[in-house]
């Protein structure tokens, strides 16, 4: 279970962007998270993926409370997550050919053995041909780079996937291919998914349930509290 309990988080203590929000994702479940722009979906997704420390509340992953965040989180917890962001170019090292970009988490965790086979297998899963694997990010399209970023997110076989607007910049056929790759991975492994997006039709089709960010908070609305 991925359990977010009464999370308050943001960028300054005095004005949190996420206030008292709770959300659970069961193993194997796909949950879509919708909400207006700027409401705090990405911030909550980053908390869920252990990339942003909340100011209050707790995150419990497979029964283990999270006590440390980002690079300080224990490797076992950190590597339980695969994360894909909207803007592939911001999350890809421009110096790395796509094959190395996909293999990055294997290198970072000292699991180089068999990495070429794993990269080839994942490239096929996400629909990247061999000629693209030797190119650097500036030599491929946004859709091709996002395919590589999804392959990178899957390379350590995470139990949880967090896809934050993964397909927002992409055309319909690339969107369909990436969603299919995520679903193939989930049906093979039983991984759970938190998918953040704007497109209710896509999320309803993709996920077991879709929740509205604004319905998740038990905090008193700020205007009423300030009165
Ligand atoms: N690094 C940051 N520093 C300061 N404020 C930030 C930072 N990142 C986001 N914010 C602010 O936090 C609020 C919530 O942002 P967040 O990205 O979580 O919203 P969102 O619901 O994902 O929006 P969108 O749908 O537009 O991506 C916004 O007001 C945003 O300006």
Burial string for 115-125 (b: 16+ CB within 10 Å, else e) reads beebbeebbeb
221 pLDDT band, cuts 50/70/90, is low
Average of per-residue pLDDT across 152-179: 96
Output the pTM of the full model. Answer: 0.93
CA-to-CA dists, residue 212 to 12, 32, 37, 203, angstroms: 24, 8, 12, 11
The predicted structure's pLDDT at residue 222: 55
Q: What is the pLDDT of residues 109-138, one digit of tens each?
A: 988 888 999 999 999 999 999 999 999 999
Structure tokens at 125: 């899963």
Strands (E), the chain: 2-9, 18-25, 30-34, 56-61, 64-65, 81-84, 160-164, 192-196, 209-212
For residues 5-11, average pLDDT? 97
Of 10, 32, 36, 43, the residue with max ligand 1 atoms within 8 A of its CB, to mutate for a pocket test, comes to: 43
Grade residue 225 by pLDDT with cuts at 50, 70 and 90: very low
C-alpha to C-alpha distance for 100 and 4, rounded to whole angstroms: 33
Rounded Cα gap, residues 194 and 183, in angstroms: 12
Domains of the chain: 1-80+160-167+191-227 (3.40.50.300)
86 CB within 6 A, ligand 1: no
For ligand 1, atom 6: residue with the closest CA: 11
The response to whether residue 96 sits with its C-beta less than 6 Å from ligand 1 reads no
Each residue of 74-117: pLDDT tens digit? 999 999 999 999 999 999 999 999 999 999 999 999 888 889 99
* Separation between Cα atoms, residue 196 and residue 211, nearest integer Å: 10
CA dist., res. 145 & res. 167, Å (int): 12
For the record, the structure tokens of 194 come out as 């938190």
Q: How far apart are CA 91 and CA 86, in angstroms?
A: 9
| Strand, coil or helix: 31 | strand
Give residue 176 CA to ligand 1 midpoint distance, Å: 27
Which residues, other chains included, contact 168 with Cβ-Cβ below 8 Å and sequence gap of 6+? 86, 197, 198
CA-based angle 1:209:91, to the nearest 5?
A: 70
Closest atom of ligand 1 to CA, residue 39: 21
Location of structure tokens 């300080």 = 72
How confident is the model at residue 136, as a pLDDT? Answer: 98
Q: What share of the chain is helix, strand, coil (3-state, %, to 5)?
A: 40, 20, 35
List CB contacts of 39: < 8 A, sequence separation 6 or more: 17, 213, 214
Which residue puts its alpha carbon closest to atom 7 of ligand 1?
Answer: 11
How far does the centroid of ligand 1 lie from the alpha carbon of residue 198, in Å? 14
Ligand 1 centroid – CA 99 distance (Å): 31
Q: Please say whether the beta carbons of 142 and 189 come within 8 A.
A: no
Residue whose CA is at the smallest distance from ligand 1 atom 26: 37
Tens-place pLDDT, residues 185-220: 999 999 999 999 999 999 999 999 999 998 998 765
Comparison of pLDDT for 225 and 167, the residue scoring more: 167
Ligand 1 atom having least distance to the Cα of 213: 21
State in Å: Cα 19 to ligand 1 middle.
Answer: 13
ipTM score: 0.95
């Amino acid at each position: 279970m991925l359990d977010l309990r009464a999370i308050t988080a943001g960028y300054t203590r005095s004005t949190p962007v996420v206030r008292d929000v709770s959300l659970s994702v069961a193993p194997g479940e796909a949950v879509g998270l919708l909400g207006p722009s700027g409401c705090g979906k990405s911030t909550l997704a980053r908390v869920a993926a252990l990339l942003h420390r909340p100011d209050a509340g707790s995150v419990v992953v497979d029964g283990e409370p999270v006590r440390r965040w980002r690079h300080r989180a224990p490797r076992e917890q950190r590597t339980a997550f695969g994360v894909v962001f909207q803007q592939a170019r911001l999350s890809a090292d421009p110096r790395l050919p796509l094959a190395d970009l996909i293999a990055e988490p294997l290198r970072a965790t000292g699991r180089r053995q068999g990495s070429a086979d794993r990269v080839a297998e994942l490239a096929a899963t996400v629909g990247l041909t061999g000629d693209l694997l030797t190119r650097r990010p500036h030599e491929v399209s946004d859709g091709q780079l996002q395919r590589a970023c999804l392959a990178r997110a899957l390379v350590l076989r995470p139990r949880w996937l967090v896809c934050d607007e993964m397909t927002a910049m992409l055309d319909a056929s690339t969107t369909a291919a990436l969603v299919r790759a995520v679903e193939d991975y989930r049906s093979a492994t039983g991984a759970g998914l938190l998918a953040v997006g704007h497109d209710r039709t896509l999320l309803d089709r993709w996920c077991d349930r879709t929740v509205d960010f604004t319905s998740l908070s038990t905090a008193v609305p700020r205007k009423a509290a300030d009165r």
